[in-house]
């Protein structure tokens, strides 16, 4: 596709009131975005209403087609249209996929397995650990990790994938030039280097609640399987899961304790028939990435000392003491504190909040 046509596509996408549907119809009718730009009112009005035509005309005067496009590319942003071969083929198969996709960095690799790792924004230490474990193992095996770069599971998974040397792709519910949430700035920049930031919305679109469901649809669309790490019974994660099922993708969920509200969603998914992801290698096996290799199931090493009383969710010193004293009555509070700090210094445990400790992976 010519650069010129892309400039006009960019213009057309920015016209207020023109969505994917109208855009498709206009281009089908007139042949190209450039043709739409130069079309007569009469031609336009066979697709648009009078008011919409006027709006488009008014907007056309303001918009500097060439400069605007160059301004966008100067930000490192690229644009891909459904009609181009570069357009992700997985997405092409999705009903209602975006006509245009903006991205920074690269597009997901066509021949690599892509897994979406999604979950709650306010995750627990358990979710954090699991997301990290799965993402880094999958990334090590070359799987592309797709997610929404949100706070919590999304971001943690993507960060772990990058740390493991893999590629990860984030689909945003705002312009791909905007880092949302702002706290993930570092992650955003890393993803641009080793993967890509994608968005169906023009640059400069600010994050809005209403834009996120569609974003979730694209996350599901870009992946071969969806892994839910932690989700409440009512959560945005369900949108992604529903979309994935609609698109015929596999859904896996990480089981949690039945008393954990943050695992309710996952457990419910498993009950409804989702795949149970009990270890990264198990999941890889399911994805048949690892079929040829021996599966080394991650087994817990025999843990010694106080570490065995710790868990993946925060425990207060009192709770740890209670656990420890049920095994060995001679353990004192001071002695336990000494051991805990030792573990923290060795990086085996972490104080997540005053007097609350978790073990780290």
- DSSP at 328: -
Among 76, 303, 318, 326, which residue interacts with other proteins (rule: CB under 8 A)? 318
Among 67, 70, 122, 303, which residue interacts with other proteins (rule: CB under 8 A)? 122
The token duo for 275 is: 């795949």
Among 156, 236, 340, 360, which residue interacts with other proteins (rule: CB under 8 A)? 340
Q: State which of positions 261-290 bind other proteins (CB under 8 A).
A: 261-262
Question: Residue 181 Cβ, how far from other proteins at the closest point, in Å?
Answer: 9
Q: State which of positions 158-197 bind other proteins (CB under 8 A).
A: none
Element (H, E) at 193: helix 185-193
- Using CA atoms, how far apart are residues 11 and 172, in angstroms rounded to an integer? 21
Stretch that binds other proteins, among 91-99, 211-219, 303-311, 344-352 (CB under 8 A): 344-352
Q: State which of positions 202-261 bind other proteins (CB under 8 A).
A: 259-261
- Using CA atoms, how far apart are residues 109 and 143, in angstroms rounded to an integer? 10
User: x-or-dash pattern for other proteins, window 132-151, by CB under 8 A?
Assistant: -------------------x
Question: Residue 350 Cβ, how far from other proteins at the closest point, in Å?
Answer: 9
Q: Which residues contact 60 (CB under 8 A, 6 or more apart)?
A: 11, 15, 37
Q: Which residues contact 71 (CB under 8 A, 6 or more apart)?
A: none
- Using CA atoms, how far apart are residues 54 and 59, in angstroms rounded to an integer? 8
Question: Residue 316 Cβ, how far from other proteins at the closest point, in Å?
Answer: 4
Using CB atoms within 10 A of its CB, is residue 43 exposed (0-12), middle (13-18) or buried (19+)? middle
If you search the block for the tokens 């119809």, which residue do you land on? 25
Nearest to 69 by CA among 5, 10, 18: 10
Q: Does position 96 bind other proteins by CB under 8 A? A: no
Among 163, 208, 291, 353, which residue interacts with other proteins (rule: CB under 8 A)? 353
Q: Does position 316 bind other proteins by CB under 8 A? A: yes
Judged by the rule CB under 8 A, the positions of this chain that interact with other proteins are 121-125, 128, 151, 259-262, 313-314, 316-319, 321-322, 333-335, 337-338, 340-342, 344-347, 351-356, 358
């Amino acid at each position: 596709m010519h650069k010129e046509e892309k400039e006009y596509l960019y213009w057309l996408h920015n016209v207020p009131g023109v969505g994917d549907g109208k855009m498709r119809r206009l281009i089908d009718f007139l042949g190209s975005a450039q043709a739409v730009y130069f079309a007569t009112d009469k031609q336009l009005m066979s697709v648009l209403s009078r008011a919409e035509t006027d709006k488009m005309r008014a907007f056309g005067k303001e918009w500097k087609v060439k400069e605007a496009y160059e301004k966008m590319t100067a930000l490192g942003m690229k644009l891909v249209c459904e009609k181009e071969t570069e357009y992700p083929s997985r997405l092409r198969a999705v009903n209602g996929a975006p006509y245009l996709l903006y991205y920074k960095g690269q597009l997901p690799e066509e021949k690599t397995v892509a897994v979406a790792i999604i979950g709650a924004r306010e995750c627990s230490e358990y979710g954090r650990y699991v997301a990290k474990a799965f993402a880094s193992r999958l990334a090590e095996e070359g799987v592309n990790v797709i997610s929404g770069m949100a706070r919590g599971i999304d971001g943690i998974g993507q960060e772990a994938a990058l740390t493991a040397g893999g590629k990860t792709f984030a689909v945003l519910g705002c312009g791909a030039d905007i880092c949302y949430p702002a706290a993930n700035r570092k992650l955003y920049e890393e993803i641009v280097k080793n993967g890509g930031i994608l968005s169906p919305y023009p640059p400069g679109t600010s994050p809005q609640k209403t834009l996120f469901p569609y974003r979730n649809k694209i996350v599901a669309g870009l992946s071969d399987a969806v892994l839910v790490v932690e989700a409440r019974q009512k959560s945005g994660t369900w949108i992604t899961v529903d979309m994935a099922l609609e698109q015929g993708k596999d859904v896996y969920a990480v089981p949690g304790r039945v008393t954990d509200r943050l695992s309710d969603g996952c457990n419910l998914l498993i009950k409804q028939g989702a795949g149970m992801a009990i270890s990264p290698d198990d999941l890889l096996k399911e994805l048949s990435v690892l079929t040829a290799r021996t599966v080394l199931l991650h087994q817990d090493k025999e843990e010694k000392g106080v570490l065995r009383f710790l868990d993946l969710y925060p425990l207060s010193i009192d709770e740890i003491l209670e656990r420890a004293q049920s095994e060995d009555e001679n353990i004192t509070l001071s002695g336990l504190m000494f051991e805990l700090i030792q573990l923290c210094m060795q990086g085996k445990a972490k104080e997540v909040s005053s007097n609350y400790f978790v073990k780290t992976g």
